[in-house]
Structure 1
Amino acid sequence: MRGWLVLLAALLASSFYLVTLQYESRRLYVAKERAHAQAMQLAAEHERLVAQQRALTAPARVQQIAQRELQMRPAHPGITEYVTLASGEAGGEARR
């Protein structure tokens, strides 16, 4: 009789352990799927931001913003000023 009780207790313990393992397995699978979905979403967001960065740093856009917002003009010989250094001043700052 005692042997049957031990076997029954072992059967119940292993059954509870199996149910617990199945629950944990399902929980981990759901967590993995959520992480995978979030990774896909972040990858798509990254691609969108990279494309937006390329558009914002295009040379034509930078020039347009410089002219419109900073009132900058392209350099041309009519407005360019050249500064000449006296012969004793050349390289004086670099030696200090």
Structure 2
Amino acid sequence: MAMRINRRRWDTGDLWWAGRDDGFLPGVDLRGRAYRAYGHRGQYVIVIPARNLVVVHLVDRWDPTEYVSFQQMGTLLSMILEAAPEQP
């Protein structure tokens, strides 16, 4: 299944979410397109082509107390984007 980006909201294709800034993760300013896969208890794969960046976040899926919320992941991704230089 091919992914397509709806200009007004996020859309999915083959378990990947694709879209632009609004609604990606709380507090995250992407400045372009991005793709996200979300797994059990806060496992993420995030691809931001404009930044030439892939972020993979894993958790101990066997520990029921370990969980990463969208808010927590948004905070982490914001810090990563702040530290990563923008591509020319």
TM-score, normalised on structure 2?
0.20
Max Rg structure: 1
Higher relative helix content? 1
User: Normalized against structure 1, the TM-score is what?
Assistant: 0.19
Q: Going by fraction, where is strand more abundant, 1 or 2? A: 2
More contact order relative to length (CA 8 Å, sep ≥ 6)? 2
